[in-house]
């Protein structure tokens, strides 16, 4: 989800961090201009996430939504008046961006409409089986899930609600979205599927789309984040990024943190630092008091359009290394990138690559612009 760009106001060194930033920018007006663009985007975006429906048309292995029982946690509503009033309440609170997830949002297109009508920045998260229409949704971002790549994607995601298997889900999504600039494939990397990473990224490139990397967590298993050879996995992800720099949006620093969970300052990704939580949820009082930054005002709502969810994904933090949670953590940790100009430039690269994931941000600024779509 989009992330406000801040220096953590809870750290005692806030004044020192600002002084360091000012000194670093003094001799680099080019970086100052880039920082202004990133901060401007951060100020424009006040984000939330909404479960539009508890229903989905497939059953992916390791899906946090169904493994966590989210489909039965609240009573779904389809009342258009209630949904419109909910969106109005978001607008009244200053929310400008919504990530619409499920279940599967394409099953309930009427529920998408009031968000698109009232909010300037919309991201629709989908499994790719049904297309998100272009008419009336020209400026939304479409995030398509992808697990493992190649035949592994079908092995992990190709299951109907009745349990029967099918194939070609990735190919179906490619067919729906050829040369569609709205689209970003969210590719959950799996150590088991390393041989499929490059062919899958190449297919996305040849289809005129872009991709950002995620980390496949087998939710519901005993070791959801298990990885036998971290360096081999990282090396392949970085190699593919280097080979397809225009297609793979993810920054190398982000990729390393995503796969290892670690940063250059010794941070380890987990609940105590993840900023992508519903800040007003009562269970987070102690987390907020620990002083690590959060996304101001961020909230996730269930499909009843009133229940506040724990966070942007499962709430099972030991099994989660969500890509957007990791990106958010890096971006709100700007004060950790002020050792020298090189570190600051890395942070700016990270911030720009984050926004480049979302089509509505690409429309806003040349700094986030994608390459031109291929000819059909």
Residue 7 lies in a domain: no
State how far the Cα of 209 lies from the Cα of 223, in Å rounded to an integer: 32
Residue 3 lies in a domain: no
Task: For residue 125, give the 3-state DSSP assignment.
Answer: strand
- Residue 222 is predicted with a pLDDT of 57
- Residue 4 is predicted with a pLDDT of 43
- Residue 312 is predicted with a pLDDT of 83
What domain range includes position 197? 14-368
Q: Are 123 and 183 in contact (CB under 8 A)?
A: no
| pLDDT tens-digit series, residues 317-334 | 887 888 999 999 999 999
Q: Are 37 and 30 in contact (CB under 8 A)?
A: no
- Residue 373 is predicted with a pLDDT of 53
State how far the Cα of 162 lies from the Cα of 165, in Å rounded to an integer: 9
Q: Are 2 and 298 in contact (CB under 8 A)?
A: no
Report in angstroms the alpha-carbon separations of 213 from 82, 184, 195, 241, 371.
Answer: 36, 10, 15, 10, 18
- Residue 173 is predicted with a pLDDT of 98
- Residue 5 is predicted with a pLDDT of 42
Provide long-range contacts, Cβ within 8 A and 24+ apart, for 343-346: 343/264, 344/21, 344/24, 344/25, 344/31, 345/31, 346/251, 346/253
Residue 9 lies in a domain: no
Residue 4 lies in a domain: no
Phi then psi for 27, rounded to 5 degrees?
Answer: -100, 5
- Residue 69 is predicted with a pLDDT of 77
Phi then psi for 338, rounded to 5 degrees?
Answer: -110, 20
Nearest residue to 42 via CA among 348, 342, 345, 299: 348
Q: Are 264 and 282 in contact (CB under 8 A)?
A: no
- Residue 76 is predicted with a pLDDT of 93
> Residue holding tokens 């969210």?
186
Residue 222 lies in a domain: yes
Q: What is the DSSP letter of 108?
A: -
Q: What is the pLDDT along the chain (376 residues), one digit of tens a residue?
A: 444 444 444 444 688 899 999 999 998 999 999 999 999 999 999 999 999 999 999 998 878 778 777 777 889 999 999 999 999 999 999 999 999 998 899 999 999 999 999 999 999 999 999 999 999 999 999 999 999 999 999 999 999 999 999 999 999 999 999 999 999 999 999 989 999 999 999 999 999 999 999 988 765 555 655 778 889 999 999 999 999 999 999 999 999 999 999 999 999 999 999 999 999 999 999 999 998 999 999 999 999 999 999 888 877 888 788 899 999 999 999 999 999 999 999 999 999 999 999 999 999 999 999 765 544 4
Nearest residue to 3 via CA among 256, 274, 295: 295
State how far the Cα of 23 lies from the Cα of 17, in Å rounded to an integer: 10
State how far the Cα of 72 lies from the Cα of 55, in Å rounded to an integer: 10
Residue 341 lies in a domain: yes
State how far the Cα of 47 lies from the Cα of 327, in Å rounded to an integer: 14
- Residue 372 is predicted with a pLDDT of 55
Residue 206 lies in a domain: yes
| pLDDT tens-digit series, residues 193-233 | 999 999 999 999 999 999 999 988 765 555 655 778 889 99
Task: Give the DSSP H/E element, type plus range, for residue 241.
Answer: helix 230-243
DSSP per residue, 247-301: TB-S-HHHHHHHHH-B-TTS-B-STTT---B-TT-GGGHHHHHT-----TT-EEE
Structurally, the chain folds into a number of domains equal to 1
State how far the Cα of 300 lies from the Cα of 284, in Å rounded to an integer: 13
Residue 376 lies in a domain: no
354: number of CA atoms within 13 Å, CB side?
Answer: 27
Give bridge partners of residue 100 from the DSSP assignment: 50, 124
Q: Are 183 and 140 in contact (CB under 8 A)?
A: no
Residue 86 is part of a domain; what is its CATH number? Answer: 3.20.20.70
**Tokens matching residue 17:** 């961090």
């Amino acid at each position: 989800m989009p992330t406000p760009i801040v220096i953590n106001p809870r750290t005692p060194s806030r004044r020192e961090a600002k002084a360091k930033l000012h000194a670093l920018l003094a001799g680099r007006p080019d970086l100052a201009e880039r920082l202004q663009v990133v901060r401007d985007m951060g100020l424009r975006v006040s984000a939330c996430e909404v479960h539009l429906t508890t229903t989905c048309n497939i059953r992916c292995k390791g899906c946090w939504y169904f493994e966590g029982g989210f489909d039965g946690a609240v009573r779904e509503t389809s009342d258009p008046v209630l949904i419109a009033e909910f969106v109005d309440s978001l607008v009244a609170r200053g929310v400008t961006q919504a990530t619409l997830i499920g279940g599967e949002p394409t099953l309930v297109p009427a529920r998408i409409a009031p968000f698109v009508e009232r909010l300037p920045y919309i991201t629709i998260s989908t499994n790719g089986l049904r297309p998100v229409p272009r008419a009336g949704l020209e400026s939304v971002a479409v995030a398509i899930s992808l697990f493992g790549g190649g035949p592994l994607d079908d092995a992990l995601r190709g299951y109907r609600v009745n349990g029967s298997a099918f194939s070609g889900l990735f190919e179906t999504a490619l067919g729906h979205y050829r040369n569609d600039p709205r689209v970003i494939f969210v590719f959950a990397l799996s150590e088991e599927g390393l041989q499929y990473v490059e062919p899958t990224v190449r297919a996305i490139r040849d289809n005129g789309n872009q991709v950002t990397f995620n980390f496949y967590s087998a939710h519901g298993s005993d070791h959801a984040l298990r990885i036998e050879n971290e360096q081999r996995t990282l090396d392949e992800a970085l190699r593919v990024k280097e080979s397809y720099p225009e297609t793979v949006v993810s920054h190398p620093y982000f990729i390393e943190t995503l796969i290892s969970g670690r940063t250059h300052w010794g941070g380890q990704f987990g609940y105590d630092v993840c900023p992508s939580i519903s800040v007003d949820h009562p269970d987070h009082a102690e987390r907020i008091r620990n002083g690590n930054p959060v996304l101001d005002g961020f909230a996730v709502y269930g499909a009843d359009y009133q229940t506040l969810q724990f966070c942007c994904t499962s709430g099972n933090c030991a099994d989660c290394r969500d890509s957007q949670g990791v990106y958010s953590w890096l971006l709100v940790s700007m004060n950790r990138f002020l050792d020298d100009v090189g570190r600051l430039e890395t942070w700016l690269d990270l911030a720009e690559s984050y926004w480049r994931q979302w089509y509505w941000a690409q429309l806003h600024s040349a700094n986030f612009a994608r390459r031109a779509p291929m000819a059909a």
